[in-house]
Amino acid sequence: MSRYYTFNAADAVEYARQFAGVKDPQSLVTADEIGDGNLNLVFKIRDTAGVSRVIVKQALPYVRCVGESWPLTLDRARIEAETLLVHGQFCPQHTVNILHHDAELAVMVQEDLSDHLIWRSELLKGKYYPQAASQLGEYLAQSLFHTSDFYQNAQYKKAEVSRFINPELCQITEDLFFTDPYIVHERNHFDALLQPEVDALRADRPLLLAVAALKQRFLSHAEALLHGDIHSGSIFVAEGKLKAIDAEFGFYGPMGFDLGTAMGNLLLNYCGLPGLVATREAADGREQRLQDLRDLWLSFRERFLQLAADKTQDPALAIAGYAEYFLQQVWHDAVGFCGSELIRRTIGFAHVADLDSIADAAMRADCQRHALSLGQWLIITAPQIDDIEALIARIRQNG
Ligand SMILES: Nc1ncnc2c1ncn2[C@@H]1O[C@H](COP(=O)(O)OP(=O)(O)O)[C@@H](O)[C@H]1O
Ligand SMILES: CSC[C@H]1O[C@H](OP(=O)(O)O)[C@H](O)[C@@H]1O
């Protein structure tokens, strides 16, 4: 018999008193449910002075934004907590701290990041965090290198692959990224203005073949313990600081998926900026997003290569030049996955405010068309885009 029950605010306070590890537990008195993601409950626990002190996050046995008609495994809370604990071991400065978790109750207590802001909200306002993209590259390099075959003992890694088998959440990604947008499916939604572009996309055979190859890589390349959903809404920023949260889609997959998801969200903002802020600000913002893209990839690549030179354990993988060769494949994967993020966030199930919050319908449709055409182009030409400067040059040409 499971001990699981869905928490209310009082349960969340009581849980935090027992397990947050604060020195004055009785001073924790109220909880506000602040969840705005698609899946879970998130309680902010406050003390008698009204100061928010810790976060209690609990999975529901279904997808929150849909309801009980879409049941979903509670094991996602264990996967989230354990992924963040592993990533926190290798990159504590950029990973939210997990203070406690309980797999049966599908609950965890997290460090409260209320002194940070969600990166997507800041990008929507045109606020620039010049260090954020490099810090994200650092987080991805540390977490992906240290969970890969470069660093982990082969038998240990296989046990870890098994610990992080996450079939239900992976299936969501498999469907929402690589299948639904390319067929008629009830989960998709988009403005009727986009129907001609959507029809053309679904009839584009080279695109569908390239998407099939991306899906196959997602399904079968257990390269490292991914975050699995590292979009700008899963990242907290403050001046000079960055922390990743929300790793319930974690599993051993292709490294390029995490990089591509992060790059895709920078480009979704790039596409939306003309509809979000004034013309001059949009031009500056776009330059900043391209710089973010460059910083993200270059900081990831540089740190990964340094870690590979200093810490590769496997004697065959340590041969000079192999890490560079491997990263070239990661790069091509990342460009393709980036394109699939652009498309699925524009016409699939889960959209983003960078496009959908644009008030003017014609402008919104223009920005969405841009995201679709850029996504299509990235997926098809990924194998020919050799480096970050070539990518940036082509994005500029694309408008
Ligand atoms: N550690 C935290 N500190 C402060 N606020 C948080 C924290 N974790 C989540 N939140 C808030 O809760 C929201 C939803 O959290 P998230 O983990 O994205 O939920 P979901 O798993 O449902 O997507 C975030 O957008 C953020 O506003
Ligand atoms: C049915 S889950 C849809 C979508 O939601 C997740 O994002 P988040 O919970 O962080 O908002 C993830 O991107 C899934 O693809």
Q: How far apart are CA 66 and CA 186, in angstroms?
A: 13
CA 177 to chain centre: 13
pLDDT band (50, 70, 90) for residue 399: low
Residue-wise pLDDT tens digits, 165-174 = 999 999 999 9
Residue 157, annotated as binding a ligand = no
Q: Which of helix, strand or coil describes residue 157?
A: helix
Residue-wise pLDDT tens digits, 354-364 = 999 999 999 99
DSSP assignments along 289-318, one per residue: HHHHHHHHHHHHHHHHHHHHHHH---TTTT
Is the whole-model pTM more than 0.95?
yes
Domain with CATH 3.90.1200.10 in the chain: 117-397
Is the CB of 246 within 6 Å of ligand 2?
Answer: yes
- pLDDT > 90? residue 335: yes
Residue 112, annotated as binding a ligand = yes
Residue-wise pLDDT tens digits, 202-218 = 999 999 999 999 999 99
**367: closest CA among 236, 277, 241?**
277
Is the CB of 350 within 6 Å of ligand 2?
Answer: yes
DSSP bridge partners of 308 = none
Report the amino acid identity of residue 247.
A
Q: Count of residues for the chain? A: 399
Q: What is the pLDDT of residue 354?
A: 98
Q: How far is the CA of 42 from the centre of ligand 2 (A)?
A: 15
Is the CB of 52 within 6 Å of ligand 1?
Answer: no
Q: How far apart are CA 116 and CA 235, in angstroms?
A: 9
Residue-wise pLDDT tens digits, 268-307 = 999 999 999 999 999 999 999 999 999 999 999 999 999 9
Q: What proportion of the chain, given as a percentage, has pLDDT over 70?
A: 100
Q: Where are the alpha helices (DSSP H) in 20-153?
A: 75-90, 119-124, 132-146
Q: How far is the CA of 76 from the centre of ligand 2 (A)?
A: 12
Quick one: average pLDDT of 335-364? 98
Q: What is the pLDDT of residue 137?
A: 99
Residue with tokens 């330059």: 287
Candidate of 57, 170, 176 to mutate for ligand 2, largest count of ligand atoms within 8 Å of Cβ? 176
Q: What proportion of the chain, given as a percentage, has pLDDT over 90?
A: 98
**309: closest CA among 290, 323, 325?**
323
Q: What is the pLDDT of residue 131?
A: 98
Q: How far is the CA of 334 from the centre of ligand 1 (A)?
A: 26
The answer to whether the CB of 340 falls within 8 A of the CB of 178 is yes
Q: How far apart are CA 43 and CA 30, in angstroms?
A: 9
- pLDDT > 90? residue 1: no
User: Exposed, middle or buried, 320 (CB in 10 Å: 0-12/13-18/19+)?
Assistant: exposed
Q: How far is the CA of 298 from the centre of ligand 1 (A)?
A: 28
Sequence-separated (6 or more) residues with CB below 8 Å from residue 148: 157, 223, 224, 255
Rounded to the nearest 5°, which phi and psi values hold at 59? -80, 145
Q: How far apart are CA 70 and CA 38, in angstroms?
A: 12
Task: Compute the mean pLDDT over every residue in the chain, rounded to the nearest whole number.
Answer: 97
- Greatest extent of the chain over all pairs of C-alpha atoms, in Å: 62
Q: What is the pLDDT of residue 37?
A: 87
Quick one: average pLDDT of 350-356? 98
Q: What is the pLDDT of residue 173?
A: 98
Q: Which fold has domain 9-111?
A: Phosphorylase Kinase; domain 1 (3.30.200)
Quick one: average pLDDT of 260-268? 98
Domain with CATH 3.30.200.20 in the chain: 9-111
Ligand lying nearest the CA atom of residue 59: 1
Ligand lying nearest the CA atom of residue 80: 1
Q: How far is the CA of 261 from the centre of ligand 2 (A)?
A: 12
Is the CB of 229 within 6 Å of ligand 2?
Answer: yes
Residue-wise pLDDT tens digits, 148-200 = 999 999 999 999 999 999 999 999 999 999 999 999 999 999 999 999 999 99
Residue-wise pLDDT tens digits, 7-55 = 999 999 999 999 999 999 999 999 999 999 899 999 999 999 999 999 9
User: Exposed, middle or buried, 192 (CB in 10 Å: 0-12/13-18/19+)?
Assistant: exposed
ipTM computed for the complex: 0.98
Candidate of 41, 96, 172, 354 to mutate for ligand 2, largest count of ligand atoms within 8 Å of Cβ? 172
Domain at 117-397, CATH homologous superfamily? Aminoglycoside phosphotransferase (APH), C-terminal lobe (3.90.1200.10)
Q: What is the pLDDT of residue 167?
A: 98
Is the CB of 172 within 6 Å of ligand 2?
Answer: yes
